[in-house]
A and B are shown apart, each in its own frame.
Chain A
Amino acid sequence: MDFSRVPLDAGEQEFLDEVRSFMTEHVTDEVLEEERRTGSGFNERLHLALAERGWVMPTWPPERGGAGLDPVRARILELEMRRAGVPSITQGTTRLVLVAVEKFGRPDLTAELLPGVAAGTVRFCLGYTEPDGGSDIAAAKTRAVRDGDEWVINGSKIFTTGAQNCQYAFLITRTDPELPKHRGLTMFLVPLASRGVEIQAIRTYGGERTNIVYYSDVRISDRYRLGGVNDGWSVLHGPLDEEHGVGREGSAKLADLAIGTSFLQTLGRAIDSALAWAFTTTRADGSRPIDDRMVRYRLGAVAMHMEAGLVTPGPMGRVKGSDALVRGAADLMDLIGPSSLLSEGSPGADSNGAIEYAHRFAQGTATYGGTVEVFHGIIAQHVLGLPRPSYPGSKTLVSRKREQAAA
């Protein structure tokens, strides 16, 4: 057990200074303002500048386009990127997909793409959810039909965040509708520049941009297939487990324990903003909010749940992180009152609109990456060992139906 500050040697300190001056130079107010305005989760100039230092794939060796960082330096970079507020959604999805590309991509495909990933020019987004499918991604209906050495893809995917900034979508398709639902799936890396791909923007009230992507008779070469035909579910497993925090418990001593950590950074900024309000506001009776025990109780409660979220492991941490943010941001709004409703830049708004933003942003965290209900199911079955529910559409019943049909 060890929660101490990591002592830095001279070289590591120098690296930290280098990272901080990079962030000061490249993560400008303009970059942050652009991100607030577009909700893009990505900034190409910044991404390419990171890539130039090998910091898109920082632990890869320099000959592969990385920076060959050791775990301490890689963690320094990660934390300083967060501190600076580097838009990182697309970097995150690219890394998730990379797990499957490296494992299941053909040698010629990986040889082509991996250097591009490190160079910042190749980026991946997630083509999982369908407009009428929600979190049940194994129910995918988007069809891929073989035609010689090509596949023809038809269907649509929603919430493909970052599609406008990516070159490939990691697409889950139905290749055999006759098989039980988890078995007739195949994964592809679909070039988004292909004819028949149409990307339409969707805005959220969290300020983010995401997309619906239509695939109409999109023809792609078989070389973009990842893993076996109808074996897509096992290809998807690596990235999904990573996203769901499975196997994270007790992992590397420097990594975030909780997959809800990124949500909680938004809450942390909101708490800091509320604290500043509590110190600097003067009430009609001349007192400051921070002198009021009720105010401190409410601030303390939000902070307590944040501390709990930061140390809640695995799939539990995903739910706790979202829950602490959703409830905490709403409570901080109430605490501050009508001025908390004011948009950033409006006269009398809190210092940086952090609370108003957090309350809107929070709602998405309960959904993306799998809803908190999906995670409750994961916890119930895989952590508590409760029996699987039996739904009419679950694979047990599908196969039973098939047996009945056969008999």
Chain B
Amino acid sequence: MDRFELRYADYSLSGDQEAVRDAFHEFFAKECPAERVRAAEPLGYDERLWRQLADMGGASMGLPESAGGGGAGLVDLLLVAEEAGAVLAPVPFAEHAAASRALAGSPGAPAELVTDVAEGRQVLALAMEPIGAAGHQLVRQLVPGGAVARSVLALDGDTLVVVHADEPPPLAPNQGSTPLAWWDLGGGRRQDLASGPEALARYRVARAEWKLLTAAALVGLTERALGIAVEFARTRETMGVPIGSLQGVAFPLADVAIGISGARNLVWRAGWMLEHEPSEARRLVPAAFAYAAQVATHGATTSAHMQGGLGFTVEADASLYFLRAKGWSLLAGDPAEDVIAVADALAADADATAGADAIAGTETLAAAGG
């Protein structure tokens, strides 16, 4: 990595991208008020909303046109994920988008499943850890989206597989009201999708895309949580002045805004790199995810706290945001693994030979994208 390299720094959206963002913004604003989020608890899944989203092309937009999709790029999907995150939409958008992109185009992808997934008739979930790799077995896993899916995409050794169940396993009730479920990925009916380096690459990309989509959702979540707190701080008075005019309230909220503005750009940059320059993505994807997770935890905490005791009650919408900030950012494991992956990428860049030796024994799939 050359810190003084001549590169473009163009964060602008194309006309098409703005249209995508605006369309989904309107859709979620209209269809997904907080009551609908509450009504979907504790499962965190609103089937009718999922159908509506699929009818808009939301389930298939990221698939190639040959697979019945919209051929959208990852950045377009990130825009949708941010809008979904802002309203806490109870739909498994990130899991489904990331897993179905890995499915479509795999040599062994069953045509019927691709069609079902593209049309949103079936949710496809993504197992966050390899089932088996050298020296370990992780058959029983908490799978995000797993409580509403009958199929899960997973990596077993060097084979990309899809594991099926007749019915989704029961919900594992959780802090973020997301459709988590324990899956036994060793049993059940399974189909092989790809093997060898291709399987590994597809799985890594799927995980990286899931992380970025989740990071984008966390950016949307944090921004809306901040918006709620700002509105409160503008109108709530103490000692005859709005509390938002006090530095003790305004400055912590400004810190949240600082985090959001950087996290969004980092997620976009990482997403662009994942499609165009995987060697840069190796560093930027884990950085973007870990940073968005930190910003969300801090931002949702601060935003709730600035509403005092009211922000601590379940009646306050701030509570919905607080609970999901953690509830979404831990689904793929401790974000500290991503922080380590940033250093792994730097080390590999700094000294290709020594770096590769240094991390060979500990490299995890968290260093996705490479």
Contacts and interface: CB of A to CB of B under 8 A. Distances in A.
Contact of B12 (A1, A5, A385, A390): A1
A294 B297 CA distance: 22
B290 A257 contact: no
Given A268-B3, A304-B342, A390-B245, A275 B8 contact: no
Nearest to A384: B230
Interface stretch (A78-86, A98-106, A164-172): A78-86
A376 B241 contact: no
A260 to B, nearest CB: 10
A127 interface: no
A308 B230 contact: no
Contacts of A256: 9
Interface in A362-407: 373, 376-377, 379-381, 383-390
Interface stretch (A40-48, A149-157, A309-317, A337-345): A309-317
A296 B246 contact: no
A257 B340 CA distance: 26
Contacts of B30: none
Contacts of A348: none
A205 interface: no
B9 A253 contact: yes
Given A250-B11, A300-B346, A384 B254 contact: yes
A293 interface: yes
B344 A296 contact: yes
Contact of B245 (A314, A320, A389): A389
Nearest to B233: A386
B257 A384 contact: yes
A4 B273 CA distance: 9
Interface stretch (B87-95, B113-121, B195-203, B350-358): B350-358
A29 interface: no
A316 B253 CA distance: 12
Interface string B330-344: 000000100111111
A250 B347 contact: no
Interface string B1-13: 0011111111111
A1 B283 contact: no
B262 A275 contact: no
B98 interface: no
A250 B10 CA distance: 7
Nearest to A383: B257
B50 interface: no
A265 B4 CA distance: 9
A150 B4 CA distance: 48
B47 interface: no
Contacts of B358: 279, 288, 290-291
B12 A250 contact: yes
A257 B9 contact: yes
Contact of B7 (A5, A265, A271): A5
Nearest to A311: B265
B350 A386 contact: no
B251 A6 contact: no
A319 B259 CA distance: 10
B291 interface: yes
A309 B262 contact: yes
A307 B287 contact: yes
Contact of B276 (A4, A271, A299, A320): A4
Nearest to A80: B4
A254 interface: yes
A97 B276 CA distance: 40
A130 B242 CA distance: 31
Nearest to A293: B340
Main secondary structure of the interface of A (DSSP, over half): helix
A311 B340 contact: no
A301 B286 CA distance: 11
B347 A303 contact: no
A308 B344 contact: no
A3 B344 CA distance: 22
Given A255-B9, A313-B261, A389-B247, A300 B230 contact: no
Contact of B269 (A253, A311, A376, A388): A311
A308 B294 CA distance: 12
Contacts of B341: 300
A311 B6 contact: no
Interface in B45-79: 75
A303 B347 CA distance: 11
A376 B6 contact: no
A317 B260 CA distance: 11
Interface residues of A, number: 66
A314 B261 contact: yes
A272 interface: yes
Contact of B342 (A278, A300, A379): A300
B347 A279 contact: yes
Residue with the greatest number of chain A CB neighbours at <10 A, chosen from B288, B290, B358? B358
A75 interface: yes
A299 B245 contact: no
Interface in B233-264: 233-234, 241-242, 244-247, 250-251, 253-255, 257-259, 261-263
A319 B234 contact: no
A275 B347 contact: yes
B24 interface: no
A111 interface: no
Given A383-B257, A384-B254, A387-B234, A75 B6 contact: yes
Contacts of B17: 1
A386 B4 contact: no
A3 B230 contact: no
Contacts of A293: 340, 362
A70 to B, nearest CB: 13
Interface in B7-54: 7-14, 17
B263 A380 contact: no
B6 A272 contact: no
Contacts of B7: 3-6
B258 A316 contact: yes
Contacts of B247: 373, 376-377, 389
B9 A3 contact: yes
A255 B291 CA distance: 24
B272 interface: yes
A79 B9 contact: no
Contacts of A178: none
Residue with the greatest number of chain A CB neighbours at <10 A, chosen from B10, B13, B247? B10
Given A1-B12, A387-B242, 5 more contacts: A250-B11, A279-B350, A307-B266, A316-B261, A389-B247
Interface of B: 3-14, 17, 75, 226, 230, 233-234, 241-242, 244-247, 250-251, 253-255, 257-259, 261-263, 265-266, 268-269, 272-273, 276-277, 283-284, 286-288, 290-291, 336, 339-344, 346-347, 350-351, 354-355, 358, 362
22 contacts: A5-B6, A75-B6, A253-B8, A254-B8, A268-B3, A271-B346, A290-B358, A295-B343, A300-B341, A300-B342, A301-B342, A307-B284, A307-B342, A308-B263, A309-B262, A312-B258, A317-B261, A379-B254, A384-B253, A384-B257, A386-B242, A390-B241
